[in-house]
């Protein structure tokens, strides 16, 4: 029993000791925390926020960098006023005076119609008061916003001179911003004119003190140039500017670059100003200088959007027409050209030679037609252009003809007859003057000469007014090798691999951007007249299966209808929709669904005839499995290069047949 009492007594004693230790620690922590807080608060209130405080029991450790010995002593005294000095441990260090740097002094002055604003840090001497007095003298009665501060340090070298120069400059700058440092003054201001800008800049440079850098940014409104003009002359001495207007510095650089290519040796003397008749002024000038260079000389004058181009008298009429036509075609909207070809000089005692109008058309072995010369009016020009494209192909004609009212009667009829005759040749040249129609070239068919003679005889009553020089080349007389059925399908699917036919969402309407793809397919189908193909439509798996099947059928038929509208013979084509069948990608991803929404072409092979007594096979036509896509043949590459900006018209070809 006695042992049990001793055991419990020991336990109670241990608990009491532990509790006492815990209470002692809590009390010590509380004392340290409250002491540290009180000391920090006192130091901050006294302005010694640079002192760091750390407590260790009843001891208080002070550390930090005092600006000088006096501040160190004041900080210690402040702490000792609230706690016993014996508890304070001093670890404060005094900063080396040599390591202290003066502040960076600066001043910024903003002046406008509403008043003057001052921002910055100034030396205590001459101080804020003197500057304000000077500002009031400069702008008497102006509202002054003072946001200046001072520091008790001596003014650095150059400060006084920079400050005086800035205040003097402020008198002639009613709209300005001046930034001042001891070594540099930056002046940003606006002037009312270019002359005032030059005057301000000269004055600032002249009054700038030695040892102070000056940065000037004086802006002035650009002068209004009216009319916005430019004149260039090119002769045996080279190219030179009589006047030059530009709307930007970049514009000047581009104009000078074009002029140097054309023979400019000196300076352009271009002025920047307002009043350009079009944002494309630079483009028009550059193209016109290029035309002047192509003519080999002459004069070029711009007066706003009116352009006068005078060619050298020695320029051939066809060259003149070709160059001027190119310029007219390439000029931006608004600009118009008045082109002049002076008459050739006449020798003394001689008579002036009247240059006859001429029409020239050249047909290359590749089937490209170029037309130069004159037509009576725009209506005739459109008719001739359309007729030429129907003969040689919509994208095969380069029309560089120009308008001239002084042409003989029957001129358009002779041109169209000549073009039809030229279409019978493999390559050749057609030349038409009022006195003679001449056609020269090479034919790939023996009957071409007879056909040309018949065409011209019917169109031109006097057979003596046309001349024919046609050579037959048997080597050119080869039948075009048609691609195999499989090559036809592979070529079309190669086109579709490069760019898909796309439709409006949930619609069978072909997007406008896909018309060029259908045009390329049309070119291939025309070279495969006897190949039976299926236009297969597919969708992704979203939506009901029956709706997808109907949508795919409608889209396949839309492609067939578009081919028909492009004058393609569709007898051997049929459209069939397969809906979401035969996916080529994962329908769970957006990319996969996009790939599955597609048009493909399948080859349809003729079934062999059944022998008598044979069991009848299934009657439904099934498209052959999709062939692996091959590299596009040369025909596909040719088709892919066919522009599709216009619907394809049926070409008659070299023999005139559809």
CATH number at residue 70: 3.30.1340.30
Domains identified in the chain, total number: 5
Question: Among the residues of 243-337, which ranges form H helices?
Answer: 249-261, 281-295, 317-330
Last residue of a domain, one of 219, 253, 286: 219
Quick: pLDDT tens for 484-537.
899 999 999 999 999 999 998 888 899 988 888 999 999 899 888 889 999 999
What does the pLDDT read at residue 297? 92
Q: Say how far apart CA 115 and CA 126 lie, in whole Å.
A: 23
Q: Say how far apart CA 173 and CA 142 lie, in whole Å.
A: 14
Q: Which DSSP symbol is given to 99?
A: G
My answer on whether 200 and 266 are in the same domain is no
Burial of 335: CB neighbours in 10 Å, binned 0-12, 13-18, 19+? buried
| Token code pair at residue 471 | 């050579």
Quick: pLDDT tens for 50-88.
889 888 878 889 998 888 888 888 888 888 888 888 888
My answer on whether 236 and 287 are in the same domain is yes
Last residue of a domain, one of 99, 114, 149: 99
Give domain status of residue 10, yes or no: no
My answer on whether 247 and 319 are in the same domain is yes
Last residue of a domain, one of 55, 71, 99: 99
Residue 615, pLDDT > 70, answer no
My answer on whether 411 and 536 are in the same domain is no
Helix (H) or strand (E) holding 287: helix 281-295
Quick: pLDDT tens for 566-611.
888 888 999 999 999 999 999 999 999 999 999 999 999 876 555 4
Give domain status of residue 57, yes or no: yes
My answer on whether 394 and 300 are in the same domain is no
* Residues 392-414, mean pLDDT to the nearest whole number: 84
Structural domain boundaries enclosing 579 = 485-607+621-640
Residue 37, pLDDT > 90, answer no
The residue whose two tokens read 């903003």 is: 110
My answer on whether 505 and 579 are in the same domain is yes
CATH number at residue 184: 3.40.1520.20
My answer on whether 190 and 71 are in the same domain is no
Q: Is the pTM for the entire model greater than 0.85?
A: no
Its sign, for the CA torsion 450, 452, 453, 454, is positive
My answer on whether 211 and 244 are in the same domain is no
Beta bridge partners of 150: 122
What does the pLDDT read at residue 450? 86
Q: Say how far apart CA 256 and CA 286 lie, in whole Å.
A: 9
CATH number at residue 245: 3.40.1520
């Amino acid at each position: 029993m006695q042992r049990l009492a001793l055991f419990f007594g020991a336990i109670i004693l241990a608990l009491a000791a532990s509790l006492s230790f815990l209470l002692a620690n809590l009390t010590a922590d509380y004392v340290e925390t409250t002491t540290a807080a009180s000391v920090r608060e006192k130091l901050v209130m006294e302005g010694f926020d640079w002192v760091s405080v750390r407590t260790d029991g009843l001891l208080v450790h002070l550390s930090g960098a005092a600006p000088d010995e006096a501040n160190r002593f004041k900080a210690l005294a402040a702490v000792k006023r609230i706690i016993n000095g014996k508890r304070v441990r001093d670890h404060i260090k005094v900063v080396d005076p040599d390591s202290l740097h003066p502040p960076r002094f600066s001043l910024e002055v903003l002046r406008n119609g509403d008043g003057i604003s001052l921002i910055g840090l100034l030396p205590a001497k001459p101080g804020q008061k003197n500057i304000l007095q000077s500002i009031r003298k400069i702008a008497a009665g102006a509202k002054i916003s003072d946001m200046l501060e001072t520091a008790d340090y001596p003014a650095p070298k150059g400060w006084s001179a920079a400050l005086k120069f800035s205040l003097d400059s402020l008198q002639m700058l009613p709209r300005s911003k001046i930034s001042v440092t001891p070594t540099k003054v930056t002046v940003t201001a606006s002037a009312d004119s270019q002359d005032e800008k030059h005057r301000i800049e000269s004055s600032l440079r002249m009054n700038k003190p030695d040892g102070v850098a000056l940065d000037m940014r004086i802006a002035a409104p650009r002068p209004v140039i009216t009319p916005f003009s430019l004149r260039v002359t090119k002769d045996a001495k080279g190219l030179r500017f009589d006047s030059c207007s530009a709307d930007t510095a970049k514009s000047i650089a581009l104009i000078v670059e074009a002029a140097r290519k054309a023979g400019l040796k000196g300076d352009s003397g271009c002025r920047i100003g307002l009043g350009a008749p079009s944002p494309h002024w630079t483009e028009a000038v550059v193209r016109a200088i290029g035309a002047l260079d192509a003519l080999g000389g002459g004069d070029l004058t711009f007066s706003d959007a009116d352009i006068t181009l005078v060619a050298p008298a020695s320029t051939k009429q066809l060259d003149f027409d070709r160059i001027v036509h190119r310029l007219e075609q390439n000029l931006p909207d608004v600009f118009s050209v008045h082109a002049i070809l002076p008459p050739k000089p006449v020798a003394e005692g001689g008579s002036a030679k009247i240059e006859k109008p001429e029409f020239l058309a050249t047909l290359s072995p590749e089937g490209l037609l170029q037309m130069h010369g004159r037509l009576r009016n725009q209506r005739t020009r459109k008719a001739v252009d359309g007729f030429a494209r129907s003969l040689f192909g919509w994208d095969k004609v380069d029309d560089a003809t120009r308008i001239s009212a002084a042409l003989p009667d029957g001129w358009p009829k002779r041109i169209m007859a000549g073009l039809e005759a030229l279409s019978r040749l493999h390559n050749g040249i057609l030349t038409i003057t009022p006195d003679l129609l001449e056609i020269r070239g090479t034919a790939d068919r023996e009957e071409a000469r007879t056909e040309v003679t018949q065409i011209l005889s019917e169109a031109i009553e006097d057979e003596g007014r046309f001349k024919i020089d046609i050579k037959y080349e048997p080597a050119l007389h080869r039948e075009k090798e048609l691609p195999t059925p499989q090559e036809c399908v592979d070529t079309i699917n190669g086109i579709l691999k490069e760019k898909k036919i796309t439709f409006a969402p949930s619609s069978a309407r072909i997007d406008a951007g896909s018309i060029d793809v259908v045009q390329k397919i049309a070119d291939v189908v025309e070279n495969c007249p006897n190949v039976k193909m299926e236009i297969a439509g597919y969708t992704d798996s979203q939506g009901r299966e029956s709706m997808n099947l109907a949508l795919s059928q409608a889209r396949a038929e839309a492609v067939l209808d578009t081919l028909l509208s492009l004058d393609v013979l569709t007898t051997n084509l049929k459209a069939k929709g397969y809906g979401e069948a035969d996916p080529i990608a994962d329908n769970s991803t957006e990319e996969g669904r996009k790939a599955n929404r597609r048009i493909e072409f399948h080859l349809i092979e003729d079934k062999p005839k059944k022998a008598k007594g044979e069991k009848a096979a299934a009657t439904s036509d099934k498209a052959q499995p999709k062939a692996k896509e091959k590299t596009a043949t040369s025909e596909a590459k040719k088709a892919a290069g066919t522009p599709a900006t216009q619907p394809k018209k049926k070409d008659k070809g070299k023999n005139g047949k559809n």
